[in-house]
Amino acid sequence: KQQHHQTAKDATMVENGQKEDKNTACASCYNTIEAERHVAAVGQLWHTECFRCSVCDVRLSSWYFEKDGLLFCREDHWSRFGDRCQQCAQIISGPVMVAGDHKFHPECFRCDSCRIFIGDGETYALLERSKLFCGACYKHQHCSLLNTVAKGESISDAKRKVPHSIRLVEIPWSNARTDRIRLAAAPDEKLLFAGTGTMGGPTSGCKSVRISEVTLNTDLMSLRVGDKVLEVNGTPVRDVPLENLQSMIENSGKVLQLTVEHDPHLLAEQQQQQQHGADGGETMVRGASVESG
């Protein structure tokens, strides 16, 4: 998903003593601003000589960056608050491609296998937070896993090899389909699989949405129980009411896009908690049933 960083702000350059505010003291040196040229920015007035970066003290032009009331030149703002590209480790100053918590330059967001650039909204898979594949190359790799199972290795052994992944998955949408995806959500992620008692489905925004049940077929094989849903059709799910997510899914049109995170370590903990809950006769938080069709 593509995002944009904060852009530079434009300060007002005031000539010949035109006053922008009743308070004519400089915000930096606190001396009175006379009839000389000065700057109006962030609701304050500055001598042109005092309008400087708070880090390197370089004199700023009419363009500047501001954070918590402090002024910055472009280089210092980027070095302090800019995101670093997951691929090249350089500061991202313009548009950014986002995969979960990981960010890339658009020109670095390319498949490690076929080297094709992956555009905004195109399927991808980021494996072990370091290897990026386009949807086609990841599908080929996934087919290799299925072939391994077909050659005699157990499905459980094969699943143990499934790495941590963040994926944008496309699911063809049709009223004739019978596949079902069940989402479970809770304001507190720990409530989702902890099995601490019977509770109704949440109606407020959710911090965590996970797949609690999925009917697998060739289109849905890459979805697994326990996968964390990050986005539905490009919209982040955090703090979105579950019923709204369900409505977004049901009105997806011909294609449903889910951005999901598979964490094998968290999945192992979840399975242990589920087993503990089953032994104690406890139940999970109820999720909403979402059917692909």
The partner residues of 210 in beta bridges, in order of sequence, read 184, 228
CATH of the domain at 21: 2.10.110.10
3-state SS, the chain, equals CEECCCCCEECEEECCCCCCCCCCECCCCCCECCCCCEEEECCEEEECCCCECCCCCCECCCEEEEECCEEECHHHHHHHHCEECCCCCCEECCCEEEECCEEECHHHCECCCCCCECCCCCCEEEECCCEEEEHHHHHHHHHHHHHHHHCCCCHHHHHHCCCCEEEEEEEECCCCCCCEEEEEEECCCHHHHCCCCCCCCCCCEECEEEEEEECCCCCCCCCCCCCEEEEECCEECCCEEHHHHHHHHHCCCCEEEEEEEECHHHHHHHHHHHHHHHHCCCCCCCCEEEECC
Q: Is residue 123 in some structural domain?
A: no
Least confident of 117-121, 142-146, 164-168: 142-146
Identify the domain boundary among 11, 45, 78.
78
Name the pLDDT band for 88 (thresholds 50, 70, 90).
Answer: very high
Instruction: State pLDDT tens for residues 26-53.
Output: 999 999 987 678 899 988 999 999 999 9
Instruction: State pLDDT tens for residues 100-125.
Output: 889 999 999 999 999 999 999 999 99
Q: Is residue 136 in some structural domain?
A: no
Same domain, 70 and 188: no
Output the pLDDT for position 287: 36
When divided into structural domains, the chain yields a total of 2
Q: Select the more confidently predicted residue: 12 or 54.
A: 54
Identify the domain boundary among 78, 97, 129.
78
Same domain, 181 and 286: yes
In this model, does residue 4 exceed pLDDT 80?
no
Q: Is residue 153 in some structural domain?
A: no
Which of the given ranges, 52-61, 189-198, 248-257, has the highest pLDDT on average? 52-61
Percent of the chain with pLDDT over 70: 64
Q: Is residue 191 in some structural domain?
A: yes
CATH of the domain at 229: 2.30.42.10
In this model, does residue 90 exceed pLDDT 70?
yes
Domain that holds residue 199: 164-291
Q: Is residue 29 in some structural domain?
A: yes
Output the pLDDT for position 187: 46
Identify the domain boundary among 30, 55, 78.
78
